[in-house]
A and B are shown apart, each in its own frame.
Chain A
Amino acid sequence: MTSSRTLHLAAELAPGAGDSPSALASARTAAPAVGGTAARTVALARLAEGAALDFLTHDDSFTRPGLDALAVLARVAPETRSIGLVPTVTTTHTEPFHVQAAVATLDWVSRGRAGWRIAVSPTGAEAALFGRRTAPATAELWQEAGEVAEVSRKLWDSWEDDAEIRDVVTGRFVDRRKLHHVNFQGATFSVTGPSIVPRPPQGNPVTVVDATRPAARDTAAHHADVALIRASSAEEAAALRAELRQGARAHGRDPGQLRVLLSATVDLDAYEGGPAALAELIAGWHGGGAVDGFHLVPAVPERDLERFTAGTVTRLRDRGLFRKAYEGTTLRDQLGLARPVSQYAAEARVTTGARA
């Protein structure tokens, strides 16, 4: 690995996503003010977009104060142009068919900038909100999350790109040979398909998995386009990255299609050396090949994202380590990930669909 690899930068938007005392205070004070969520989030997204960050995550869970994350980012989509939008979506108590349709639709309304960060809902409190089943062990939930990722990809692929034909002579709107039942049988659910949503602009929206917990790591290696890790040294990060890439290879994937980002909760008020020191750290870890980029989890988004973009990103850009402007229009473009060909497309057409 060389330092000429593209550096990828992302940031978290939800108030209080970090675990510092000021983050918790921020989450609590934000809850009653949800009426301002749209304006607040649009302002933050534009700030991040001004610095040409790859994407924004928005944390979520059924017990987290605040609005549905996918809804918030759909609201942000028309007011931004280039930045990727990645809401957290749980796979535990939700319907896989609805989840994939919502993520595909986020990709349509953002014109190819959607991702989703897969999460599980392991607590009894979350299970009680649904009353359908007791909370299974976390390992089982991550296995189910992997199945939801797999069926989502199948459903996104269940419409080939050129399924819509509008052939007036034969009266056909679609070529039904290019619409596919997925007939997926998982351990806890089954889906017949096809999706109700035509294939989204990116083919498959970007799948992000937080691989911090060991239980999530195999699902990340198997299904993630972007894996988030936490590490306290460059060596630890490099080892995790190698483990994930090895896992991807074991699942028959090209490890070059997996981006590993270090997720770091940063309180730029308390961070010694401030934004400049953070730029040094990012440059060092990325240059050394430990990670493909950084995912900033600001302790207080309004304050820390401003400092990060103005202080840290500017320095990285001045050193030629980070893009000056967006290249391409989709999130896959920013991440340097190929647009996948539908797994159902005929063999003969496989080689023609890929686009760098």
Chain B
Amino acid sequence: MSTTPGRKQIHLAAHFPGVNSTTVWADPRSGSQIDFSSFEHLARTAERGLFDFFFLAEGLRLREHNGRIHDLDVVGRPESITVLNALAAVTDRLGLAGTVNATFNEPYELARRLASLDHLSAGRAAWNVVTSSDAFTGENFRRGGFLDRADRYARAAEFLATARELWDSWTPEGRQRPFVHSGPQFGIEGEFTVPRSPQGHPVVIQAGDSAEGREFAASAADVVFTRHSTLEAGREFYADVKGRLARYGREPGDLKIMPGVTYVLGDTDGEAQERAGEIRRQQVSPQNAILALEQIWGRDLSGYDPDGPLPDIDPDPDSTLVQGRVRVADPVGVARRWRALSEAKGLSIRQTVVESTSRQSFVGSPGTVAAALEEFVATDAADGFILVPHLTPGGLDDFVDRVVPLLQERGVFRTEYSGTTLRSHLGLPEPVWKG
């Protein structure tokens, strides 16, 4: 790898723009959210940009709002691992990361599917371990029900530990040995039928910023996907999570911290700011503005005018209006802040939502954005970024064409892949085989 010695290297990943309010589907350039060609375009673009990996999120039940399927954002997506196996055929080096829930799967089957992906991609598989606690999603599954918040990490941790036992049940020399796992969550035994895969273990990603999530990441993950996308919050999170590693006998470099970030480019900073405003207005349609409000208030606010003032009633803290989404932690506090903003600047509902949400992480000319990314990594606010474009499938094109070359000039990003596996791109050690 031709890099400048001593400069901390940036890792980059591409998040397929999917089922969330940042994806702009109404733009004329917006393509299919389900055709394989869209996934292929984005993955090939990421590989052209020498990215570490391509990332797919997951949702196991369509989101509902007030008892009806939410229809304002992109709806629907393919099953992750199947798409990644197909993408392995049209890429050579790019890591392939899929989000798969540990609550609604079983270790034997998932460990087998992930090891299969690692074989079929010649060592490029990654698993983003997420957990779910809600009974709403459980209604699509045999196990149904839900888990207590604490139990879902207990299950995830034992799930991952069990998967690692299965991956280790073949010796590096290719000898298969029977396995037995007996724990509070899983009691299984037999023979794992997939020989040890090229990476030994697929790369493990953890997404979730809670204290339990951080501890789980420090104990067992290779990459953390965090929401902390400002410099200050990033540094604090970075120091906290890296500080937890020693307890598990791990080095700071063993865990990469990668915030999910959005970006807008322009020929000048001013032009980029202007475009950023346009994109935010595209993201927050009048209907989406009312919806965003309802997500905070937990009340039916369909009678309100998006171009009028905010409601003067308070949020309902016990609302069940919204299902299948992460809950807003402090709705009353958020409502108070939004009202204050609206009153101070004389903003309508829609303008308030545009101002308060969906602000892009990096906005500027390619040079400005490259410098900001470097600063984040150089000052230990991150080890890299999971970029979330707002357009499918061309949303990454300008970044790869215009920002990546500048990062390379600065000596902070690879100019060619030095290895073949995702582990090698991320500079992660081989997993220690525990026989």
The 8 A CB mask of B110-126 against A (1 = contact, 0 = none) is 00110111011010000
B287 touches A62 (CB 8 A): no
Minimum Cβ distance to chain A for residue B195 (Å): 5
Contact of B77 among A72, A173, A188, A197 (CB under 8 A): A197
A172 touches B85 (CB 8 A): no
User: Closest 3 A-B residue pairs measured CB to CB?
Assistant: A171-B287, A74-B85, A109-B86
Number of interface residues of A (CB under 8 A): 65
The 8 A CB mask of B23-35 against A (1 = contact, 0 = none) is 0011000000011
How many of chain B's residues touch chain A, expressed as a range? 35 or more
Minimum Cβ distance to chain A for residue B72 (Å): 5
The 8 A CB mask of A129-142 against B (1 = contact, 0 = none) is 11110000000000
A35 touches B198 (CB 8 A): yes
- Residues of B close to A108: CB separation below 8 A: 34-36, 78, 83
List the one stretch of A48-56, A174-182, A261-269 in contact with chain B: A174-182
A104 touches B79 (CB 8 A): yes
- With A98-B79, A198-B76: A174-B69 Cβ-Cβ less than 8 Å: yes
C-alpha gap A132/B144 in the complex (Å): 14
A68 touches B72 (CB 8 A): no
A37 touches B119 (CB 8 A): yes
- Residues of A close to B157: CB separation below 8 A: none
B190 touches A129 (CB 8 A): yes
Some 20 contacts from A to B, beta carbons below 8 A apart, are A34-B119, A35-B119, A42-B89, A65-B193, A67-B194, A75-B89, A75-B120, A78-B89, A96-B142, A105-B83, A129-B188, A131-B186, A131-B188, A131-B189, A164-B76, A168-B26, A173-B72, A191-B141, A194-B62, A197-B76
Contact of A71 among B85, B90, B190 (CB under 8 A): B85
- With A95-B104, A171-B288, A197-B76: A131-B86 Cβ-Cβ less than 8 Å: no
A176 touches B69 (CB 8 A): yes
B79 touches A197 (CB 8 A): yes
Listed in ascending order, the chain B residues whose CB lies under 8 Å from chain A are 25-26, 34-36, 40, 59-62, 68-69, 71-79, 81-83, 85-86, 88-90, 104-106, 108-109, 112-113, 115-117, 119-120, 122, 139-142, 144, 174, 186-191, 193-195, 198, 285-288
C-alpha gap A190/B76 in the complex (Å): 21
> B75: nearest residue on chain A (CB-CB)?
A174
A130 touches B188 (CB 8 A): yes
A190 touches B79 (CB 8 A): no
**A-B CB pair tally, cutoff 8 Å:** 181
A128 touches B60 (CB 8 A): no
B120 touches A67 (CB 8 A): yes
C-alpha gap A94/B39 in the complex (Å): 26
B89 touches A77 (CB 8 A): yes
The 8 A CB mask of A177-206 against B (1 = contact, 0 = none) is 001000000001111111011100000000
Minimum Cβ distance to chain A for residue B136 (Å): 9
A176 touches B78 (CB 8 A): no
C-alpha gap A71/B69 in the complex (Å): 31
- Residues of A close to B73: CB separation below 8 A: 173
The 8 A CB mask of A255-281 against B (1 = contact, 0 = none) is 000000000000000000000000000
A190 touches B116 (CB 8 A): no
B285 touches A128 (CB 8 A): no
- With A62-B108, A62-B112: A166-B25 Cβ-Cβ less than 8 Å: yes
A190 touches B72 (CB 8 A): no
> A71: nearest residue on chain B (CB-CB)?
B116
- With A62-B109, A68-B112, A192-B140: A76-B89 Cβ-Cβ less than 8 Å: yes
C-alpha gap A35/B193 in the complex (Å): 13
C-alpha gap A109/B80 in the complex (Å): 11
- With A71-B113, A97-B141: A173-B71 Cβ-Cβ less than 8 Å: yes
- Could you say which of B26, B68, B116 has the most chain A C-beta atoms within 10 Å of its C-beta? B116
Minimum Cβ distance to chain B for residue A194 (Å): 6
- With A63-B193, A78-B89, A102-B82: A179-B62 Cβ-Cβ less than 8 Å: yes
- Residues of B close to A104: CB separation below 8 A: 78-79
A71-111 contacts to B (CB < 8 Å): 71-72, 74-79, 93-98, 101-102, 104-106, 108-109, 111
- With A93-B106, A111-B36, A173-B73: A71-B82 Cβ-Cβ less than 8 Å: yes
B68 touches A197 (CB 8 A): no
Minimum Cβ distance to chain A for residue B20 (Å): 12
Minimum Cβ distance to chain B for residue A329 (Å): 14
Minimum Cβ distance to chain A for residue B358 (Å): 15
> A168: nearest residue on chain B (CB-CB)?
B26
- With A62-B108, A72-B120: A77-B188 Cβ-Cβ less than 8 Å: no
C-alpha gap A131/B68 in the complex (Å): 37
Minimum Cβ distance to chain B for residue A120 (Å): 15
> B100: nearest residue on chain A (CB-CB)?
A98
6 more contacts with CB within 8 A, not counting A170-B287, A196-B59, are A67-B115, A68-B113, A72-B120, A75-B86, A78-B36, A197-B77
